[in-house]
Amino acid sequence: MESRPLWPRPHRLQVPRLALRRHLSVLSGSVSRPTPWRRRPIAFLCYVLSVSTLRPLAKRVALYRSFPTRLLSRAWGRLNGVELPTWLRKPIYSLYIWTFGVNMQEAAVEDLHHYRNLGEFFRRRLKPAVRPLCASSCLISPADGKILHFGQVKNSEVEQVKGVTYSLENFLGPQKRRGNESSSSFRDLLLTSPDNDLFHVVVYLAPGDYHCFHSPTDWRVELRRHFPGSLMSVNPGVARLVKELFCLNERVALTGQWQHGFFSLTAVGATNVGSIRVYFDQELQTNAPRYSKGSFQDRSYVAVDDQVVKAAGEGGVACVEGEGVVLEKGAAVGEFNLGSTIVLLFEAPKDFSFNLQPGQRIRVGEGLGSL
């Protein structure tokens, strides 16, 4: 005779894991796949904040854009500057290292007790030998990070991530006309030769990456343009949802010339990255409490009346020689206070080719492309 329990077995709680995974896949814009163990809490938090089951997409984006990200970033900046007791430094930094996969063996100072606050730890320097420069490539990566997008600029529109574009003119602002005066295309106005084309590459710096950015080639910076703006996250998942995110966020655009014509490097700020520092420009102040929407401030590095001004740079030679700030390939240019994005826009011969794959990891000094 079959024995039966005196009370019914309790049913197991059925957690809709597949549904949750589908929601996370929609949020990230990619095929569903198991989340790395180190990032599961972050992925779940992103799902909760998205409120995808409660609000339409447009309302979620509008709600996110209404967050006081500039105020939060300034508060985070002050927190980063608070000196930590010596006994507390190793536990806090170890938690950060564990969460974001930081490689401290590359750091110039591996002793965690050396870093007095979070800001110093974020901006840690690397050992000189760990980032060799690619001698065979005319263009190297300016930062450690992930390649979000690259290619030719078409119709004056640039992709921030696959399928989501932003206006080149809104991103750089009005420019000195270098090319065909009769052309109605903003892209063509930047080109100095009809035999050249305009290219771009986007490098995303995650919180665990090295936070300094370097000169990707030998070039001359003529203008610094600072756009105050929002400080929304530039995570690829958010970049897929917010059109023209790079044009809305605070950014510092350095524009000038290299051997093939127009060249620009733009540091795009993000949440908790209100502080963008350029080593040779001590006047630059980012994430101010107040600003006029759509405004920008320019500083020309081209000397007036043949005046020659020396500008001290960190990690490389940078001096104003009448026609701008001269930067050598690999020279340290500036730093973020956490992770963010670098956008390169440059003129080159039409046979220029990238040696990249979308989504690949890259480090400072590695080649981007060749002629």
Distance CA 222, CA 249 (A): 23
pLDDT for the residue numbered 175: 77
Single out the residue of 147, 246, 209 nearest to residue 338, CA to CA: 209
At 339, list the tokens: 């992770």
Check residue 106 and give its pLDDT.
92
What's residue 160's pLDDT? 59
In this structure, what token pair is assigned to residue 314?
């960190």
- In order along its 371 residues, the chain shows pLDDT tens digits of 545 554 444 444 444 454 544 544 444 444 334 445 444 555 554 544 444 433 554 555 555 555 555 556 556 666 667 888 999 999 999 998 998 889 999 999 999 999 998 888 888 899 988 999 999 899 999 999 999 889 998 877 776 555 567 788 888 888 776 655 556 678 888 888 888 999 999 998 888 889 899 999 999 999 999 988 777 766 666 767 676 677 778 889 999 999 999 999 999 887 665 578 899 998 888 877 776 777 788 999 987 544 444 444 444 445 555 678 999 999 999 988 766 889 999 999 999 999 998 889 999 999 999 88
The residues, ordered by sequence, that sit 6+ positions from 18 with a Cβ below 8 Å of its Cβ are: none
What pTM was computed for the model? 0.76
Alpha carbons 172 and 253: distance in angstroms, whole number: 7
Per domain, the residue ranges of the chain are 57-123, 139-174+186-370
Q: Are 308 and 268 in contact (CB under 8 A)?
A: no
Which of the 8 DSSP states describes residue 241?
A: T
> Can you give the pLDDT at residue 43?
52
**Distant-in-sequence, close-in-space partners of 285: CB < 8 Å, separation ≥ 6:** none
Q: Catalytic positions, please?
A: 144, 214, 340
Residue whose structure tokens are 């524009």: 255
> What's residue 322's pLDDT?
61
Length of the chain in residues, anyone?
Answer: 371
Phi, psi angles (nearest 5°) of residue 183: -75, 140
